[in-house]
Amino acid sequence: MDHRTNPDISALVSADNRHHLHPFTDHASLREKEGGARVITEARGVHVWDASGRRLLDAMSGLWCVNIGYGRQELAEAARRQMEQLSYYNTFFKTTNEPATRLAERISDLLPDHLNQVFFVNSGSEANDTIVRMVRLYWQLEGRPERQVFISRHRAYHGSTMAAASLGGMSAMHAQGHLPLPGFEHVQEPDWFQHGGDMTPEEFGLRAANAIEERILEVGPENVAAIIGEPIQGAGGVIIPPETYWPRVQEIARKHDVLLIADEVITGLGRTGSMWGFETFGIEPDLVPMAKGLTSGYQPLGAVAVGERVAETLIAKGGEFAHGFTWSGHPVACAVALENLRILTEEGLVNRVREMEGVVREKIGALADHPLVGEFRIRGLIGALELVRDKGTRERFNDPGRVGTICRDHCIDVGLIMRACWDTMVFAPPFCITAEEVDEWAGLAREALDRTLKDVEGELA
Ligand code: PXG
């Protein structure tokens, strides 16, 4: 049954059409052509249900965030207990609450020694905006106020607020509202599949890293504040950089005395098979924004881990940092995060990510034999399938995003949620996924690919 035949649901959908502006949505198309939003009503484990009772396997963990899986009673209990005891108090004006302090300590314990100060925010965007203000203040306090420029990569995603969208390298976002702000530079992303040509991945990785140094030299090292990067670019299409990339970026940051920021909003807390993406790639960032997996999406929460170098200056010379949010260190969100991290560590879910990576590599990786699939790649439980016109040459279809959207819609029709980043189908399933569920996912994905192939067969090379 389609939900629009159910009177309660169709009333809800029409109210939604009248009043609700959604993120990253073309409302004219949603309301007029597609008839309104899909209503999700329940979720458990790796599955969500829509209002018509259809079950979908969520291979995206919501938006890369429901890492421990849906419906864990312990998190509901933790929220209820905390709401009953202390539903809210702020962390301004020399005040704290127990969950906020314990969580700052817990996050510090999970990080390497030099990262041991934590500032709480409510989202990844706020984490990155906080970092822009903090890093510029750091350089002011160091007597180097001209060090203001941030270097990032094309197709980076760091959030939607003004500074975070400027840090990001999404051209469609920059095209709206005169972004980026001054002081944000973008260089080529380390996407071998797209840009590598005849180079080996290792050669290309070095070249992409060197593009950062070239830009530092153009801007003048004395003007550069920091380099920011997601260890694996998520919304950009799960770009897993060649092994040569990050070590060279680290070298460049050190050589020019520039701070290094690893945006761990997606990759943090186990997603890549180590606790942090920067560990997977062997680098030592100065600042670490995190969000999503911190609560597995059960509450909105983000944090910035601040390394010794910046923290010591801010604390010793900074006086009052004039920055913060009403919900910074919200006791309910922090209590839920503590329970989420307990489950993550006590149930050994980061090891499980590594185990399940092998299963996904075998079962989903087998789709690489499909006529549309030009590449399968994975690191931990984050990966992608590239849809191409020509498997031999990696040539894509014309009108980027068209075939990805067709495939994404077929996925939904067969009962699977995978996201299309242009023509790259990406996935990041909950860590609790089982081998049987990976089998179910592989079957659904093949069916969606076959249906997509029927639609575009005439265009293949
Ligand atoms: N950094 C990274 C690496 C992200 O992936 C943010 C920062 C911003 O976080 P908030 O909590 O402000 O959304 C993100 C968010 C998508 C998609 O469609 C990805 C994100 C958010 C929404 C949609 O892939 N990533």
pLDDT tens-digit profile, the chain (461 residues): 344 557 689 999 999 999 999 999 999 999 999 999 999 999 999 999 999 999 999 999 999 999 999 999 999 999 999 999 999 999 999 999 999 999 999 999 999 999 999 999 999 999 999 999 999 999 999 999 999 999 999 999 999 999 999 999 999 999 999 999 999 999 999 999 999 999 999 999 999 999 999 999 999 999 999 999 999 999 999 999 999 999 999 999 999 999 999 999 999 999 999 999 999 999 999 999 999 999 999 999 999 999 999 999 999 999 999 999 999 999 999 999 999 999 999 999 999 999 999 999 999 999 999 999 999 999 999 999 999 999 999 999 999 999 999 999 999 999 999 999 999 999 999 999 999 999 999 999 999 999 999 999 999 98
pLDDT digits (tens, 9 = 90+) for 230-263: 999 999 999 999 999 999 999 999 999 999 999 9
Whether 266 lines ligand 1, by a CB cut-off of 6 Å, is yes
Residues 6+ apart with CB under 8 A from 91: 97, 100, 120, 324, 328, 329
For ligand 1, the distance from its centroid to the CA atom of residue 382, given in whole angstroms, is 14
Looking at residue 200, the DSSP 8-state letter turns out to be -
What is the rounded CA–CA span in Å between residue 293 and residue 263? 13
Element (H, E) at 403: helix 402-414
What is the rounded CA–CA span in Å between residue 374 and residue 387? 6
What is the rounded CA–CA span in Å between residue 419 and residue 368? 17
Q: Residue 8 has what pLDDT?
A: 87
For ligand 1, the distance from its centroid to the CA atom of residue 291, given in whole angstroms, is 9
Matching residue, tokens 């680098």: 283
Whether 158 lines ligand 1, by a CB cut-off of 6 Å, is yes
Ligand 1, atom 22, lies closest to the CA of: 63
For ligand 1, the distance from its centroid to the CA atom of residue 106, given in whole angstroms, is 23
Query: Do residues 381 and 357 make contact, with C-beta atoms less than 8 angstroms apart?
Result: yes
What is the rounded CA–CA span in Å between residue 91 and residue 79? 18
Distances (CA, A) of 108 to 132, 288, 304: 21, 11, 11
Query: Which domains does the chain show, CATH number per domain?
Result: 38-68+349-459 (3.90.1150.10), 74-346 (3.40.640.10)
Buried b (16+ CB within 10 A) or exposed e, 112-128: beebbbbbbbbbbbbbb
Whether 235 lines ligand 1, by a CB cut-off of 6 Å, is yes
User: Quick check: pTM over 0.85?
Assistant: yes
Contacts of range 307-315, beta carbons closer than 8 Å, 24 or more positions apart? 307/114, 307/115, 307/117, 308/114, 308/115, 308/116, 309/114, 309/259, 310/134, 310/135, 310/138, 310/259, 310/286, 311/116, 311/117, 313/138, 313/141, 313/142, 314/134, 314/137, 314/138, 314/141
Half-sphere exposure of 314 (CA within 13 A, CB side): 20
Whether 123 lines ligand 1, by a CB cut-off of 6 Å, is yes
Ligand 1, atom 9, lies closest to the CA of: 124
Whether 125 lines ligand 1, by a CB cut-off of 6 Å, is yes
Q: Which atom of ligand 1 is nearest to the CA of 159?
A: 8
* Nearest in space to 156 (alpha carbons), one of 212, 210, 216, 235: 235
Pairing mode of beta strands 149-153, 224-229? parallel
